[in-house]
Amino acid sequence: MPNVDRRSFLLAAGGLTGCVAAGGAAASALDAQPATVQTGDQHRGVCSIASGNGRRCVDKAMEMIRAGADPVDAVVEGVTIIEDDPDDMSVGLGGLPNEEGVVQLDASVMHGPTHKAGAVACIEGIRNPARVALLVLKRTDHILLVGEGARRFALSYGFNTEELLTPRAREAWLKWRANRSLDDDWLNDEEMDFPAEPRLGAMRDIPFTYGTVHCAATNARDNISATTSTSGLSWKIPGRVGDSPIVGAGMYVDNDVGAAGATGRGEAVIANCGSFNIVEHMARGLTPTEACLAVAKRIADRTREKRLRDERGRPNFNVSLYALRKDGAYGAACLHPGGTFAVHDGTSSRVLRCVPLFEA
């Protein structure tokens, strides 16, 4: 990655941790070290970013913002494209199901100017949970609806129910079920007591995903908004809710500062209030990339269960983190190389690599 002075960043982040804990200013810790500077951190102006599967999201969001739409409507319509795509097995129609073969979807959305949020979790049979979450935001005094209540709420607004399990996703689920026990979410004694082989990827020929789509957009004036949508962890225990519908975990917006989102292992993001912490780091003066790396480091430092660590003590899973400042600066980081993000900077869209905390 160009312009990344990782050693300096990590030194700064270490200083940051102590500094923040002591109530000091994060910026002063960074002043002593060269800042981590990425091209996106220097961008200003209208902008939309998304997870790596969201290039069509940022294109749509930018098109709508240019036409005068509220960024909150723009990001939701952006992720709707991915939810409608049966070939994206991480979200909406075609998303991988839970361990019983049922697709359960989570989504959240947040509108900067009103600081309102809406979310749904474990909703079944509705392919566009982000649109339902936006209706919770706009039409109710609540934030989070779950399960059957969320489904009935959607039906009342005219959403159709349908089978979301596509033939391809069913085939993957049947293959997983026939091989389960090595790679399920129930911990046996050995997994709890001894370092286990990394569970994620134990059966690499079967699609396995924490996959998710996140999209944020700013008009660089008075409105930054964001949404995150997912089918969650594949083969999850029914009823499991990930980070995506949890405001402050898989998505967060502060209209005075910016927006953040996450994809990857939701449990790690929830336990570290990932998106909220990214936005708070930006409020204290970190660039978007630095803010994402600081939270990636926090997740790594707090991954303490042996079954979740590799032989070098690093997390054996990945998380990608995305940040968009209200003025249009943007950045992304991940734990391990491989994470990507999409951006439309007002000129064109492209997919870029997230800055990894750890080298390959």
Per CB under 6 A, 315 contacts ligand GLY: no
Whole-number Å distance between alpha carbons of 6 and 344: 26
Active site residue 161: no
Which position among 41, 73, 124, 243 is part of the footprint of ligand GLY (CB under 6 A)?
A: 243
What is the distance between the alpha carbons of residues 250 and 264, in angstroms, rounded to a whole number?
Answer: 9
Sign of CA dihedral 346, 352, 354, 355: negative
Active-site entry in 80, 166, 212, 303: 212
Q: Name which of 10 and 143 has its Cβ closer to ligand GLY.
A: 143
Q: Does 210 bind ligand GLY (CB under 6 A)?
A: yes
How deeply is 156 buried, as exposed, middle or buried, from its count of CB atoms within 10 A (0-12, 13-18, 19+)? exposed
Residue 245 within binding range of ligand GLY, rule CB under 6 A: no
Under the criterion CB under 6 A, does residue 290 sit at the interface with ligand GLY? no
Contact 218, 80 (CB under 8 A): no
Q: List, in order, residues 6 or more apart from 149 with CB less than 8 Å away.
A: none
The answer to whether 289 contacts ligand GLY (rule: CB under 6 A) is no
The reply to whether 232 sits near ligand GLY by the rule CB under 6 A is yes
Among 121, 233, 291, 321, binds ligand GLY (CB under 6 A): 233
Which residues, other chains included, contact 275 with Cβ-Cβ below 8 Å and sequence gap of 6+? Answer: 248, 249, 250, 251, 252, 259, 260, 261, 262, 269, 321
Residue placing its CB nearer to ligand GLY in the complex, 244 or 316 = 244
The one-letter code for the residue type at 191 is E
| Contact map string, positions 250 to 279, toward ligand GLY, x by CB under 6 A | x------------xxxx-------------
Q: Which of 40, 94, 95, 242 binds ligand GLY (CB under 6 A)?
A: 242
Task: Please name the helix (run of DSSP H) or strand (run of DSSP E) that holds residue 324, with its range, or none.
Answer: strand 319-325
- Smallest gap from Cβ 209 to ligand GLY, in A, equals 8
Record the tokens describing residue 209, joined without a space: 């995903």
For ligand GLY, the closer CB: 104 or 219: 104
Question: What is the closest distance, in whole angstroms, from the C-beta atom of residue 26 to ligand GLY in the complex?
Answer: 26
Positions marked active-site? 212
Residues binding ligand GLY (CB under 6 A): 210, 212, 230, 232-233, 242-244, 250, 263-266
